[in-house]
Amino acid sequence: MLKARTLTIDIGRPPEDVYNFLVDPANLARWTLVKNGRPQPAAGLNSWAFDGPRGTVLVHFTPANPLFVLDYRMQVGPHTTHVAHVRVVRNGSGTTLTHTSVQQPLISDAMFESEEEWMYSDLQVLKTLMEGR
Amino acid sequence: MRRSHTISIQIDYPYALAYPYLADPRNYADWAAVDPDQFHLLENGDWSAETRFGGPRHVRFTPRNAFGILDHAVFEPGEPLLWTPMRVMPNEDGTELLFTFYQRPGSSEEQFQSAVEWITTDFLTLKSLLEARRR
């Protein structure tokens, strides 16, 4: 089995709002480093291309669903660099979000560690953005 | 919002087998803190359980789904349901399990920590039970 890491974050906003925001791939550019999202139907249903800090990033998303699951797979060039399982759950009037990253075979421990730190700060941006509206 | 704690466990047992096992309520008493002899299906589709932490409860399970979601609510009849998030995900030839536990209103920090420890023990039981099936 591959190593996995789960980050959790509480967001003071109902899960419906958080999920509806996250499930629109265009919104990814609002809280992560990728920009200029556009659908990439040739790469599969729910696949989007973004301009990343080091070139084009292809992201494949799970279609919207009533269980508030949003898994995704990220590809830079021919390599899958990131696989994650995201879930949005109700916590009173707010949300608890879990983000589980799976360390891919070509990703070193140091790189995975650094990605998780980036992801944690991205999630803080998401929290601020969702709570501020 | 309530305080929460998410337990994550890696189980060396294929997801394709782990999910159907966990999604079948008949297997719940194998690993959760309920008395297997008294665990039974009710007419409305809920299950009746004698829990080791607080007496009789009803349990409602999430219907089977494509995402490995295994949320369930353990409640006293008549009280509002508090769903406990649980999910299994494939990880190569094994399974990744997540369980989120919320602090109950009126429960102290000490009770919360103790509950987290008990639940972690339940999941380690589940892990060894499933891994033993593989051998």
- Contact yes or no for B100 and A8 at CB 8 A: yes
pLDDT attached to residue A7: 98
pLDDT attached to residue B53: 77
Q: Per residue of chain B (135 residues), give pLDDT as tens.
A: 999 999 999 999 999 999 999 999 999 999 998 999 999 999 999 999 999 878 899 999 999 999 999 999 999 999 989 899 999 999 999 999 999 999 988 899 999 999 999 999 999 999 999 999 987
Longest dimension (CA), chain A: 42
A77 touches chain B (CB under 8 A): no
| Spacing of C-alpha B30 from chain mean position | 11
- Contact yes or no for B4 and A96 at CB 8 A: yes
Show the CA angle centred on residue B49, arms to residues A69 and B98, nearest 5°: 25
- Contact yes or no for A90 and B83 at CB 8 A: yes
Chain A interface, best mutation among B91, B116, B127, B131, by max A CB count within 10 A: B91
Query: For residue B4, which residues of chain A lie inside 8 Å, CB to CB?
Result: 8, 10, 91, 96
Query: Using CB atoms, which residue from B1, B69, B96 is nearest to A10?
Result: B1
| Number of domains into which chain B is organized | 1
Domain residues for the domain of A53 are 4-132
B53-87: per-residue pLDDT in tens?
Answer: 788 999 999 999 999 999 999 999 999 898 999 99
Q: Where are the alpha helices (DSSP H) in A1-133?
A: 15-22, 109-132
Q: How far apart are CA A29 and CA A122, in angstroms?
A: 11
- Contact yes or no for A6 and B8 at CB 8 A: yes
- Annotate chain B with three-state secondary structure: CCCEEEEEEEECCCHHHHHHHHHCHHHHHHCCCECHHHCEECCCCCEEEEECCCEEEEEEECCCCCCCECCEEEECCCCCCCEECEEEEEECCEEEEEEEEECCCCCCHHHHHHHHHHHHHHHHHHHHHHHHHHC
ipTM for the whole complex? 0.91
A9-67: per-residue pLDDT in tens?
Answer: 999 999 999 999 999 999 999 999 999 999 999 988 899 999 998 899 999 999 999 99
Structure tokens at B64: 């089977």
- Contact yes or no for B6 and A89 at CB 8 A: no
pTM of the model: 0.93
CATH number of the domain at A44, please. Answer: 3.30.530.20
A10 touches chain B (CB under 8 A): yes
A131 touches chain B (CB under 8 A): no
A67-112: per-residue pLDDT in tens?
Answer: 999 999 999 888 878 999 999 999 999 999 999 999 999 899 999 9
CATH number of the domain at B80, please. Answer: 3.30.530.20
Query: For residue A102, which residues of chain B lie inside 8 Å, CB to CB?
Result: 91, 96
A94 touches chain B (CB under 8 A): yes
pLDDT attached to residue B9: 97
Query: Using CB atoms, which residue from A1, A89, A96 is nearest to B94?
Result: A1
Residue bearing the bigger pLDDT, A109 or A133: A109
pLDDT attached to residue A88: 98
Number of Cβ pairs closer than 8 Å across A and B? Answer: 68
Tokens 């989007």 belong to A48
| Number of domains into which chain A is organized | 1
B100 touches chain A (CB under 8 A): yes
Domain residues for the domain of B22 are 4-134
Q: How far is A88 from chain B (nearest CA, A)?
A: 10
Number of neighbouring beta carbons within 10 Å of residue B62: 17
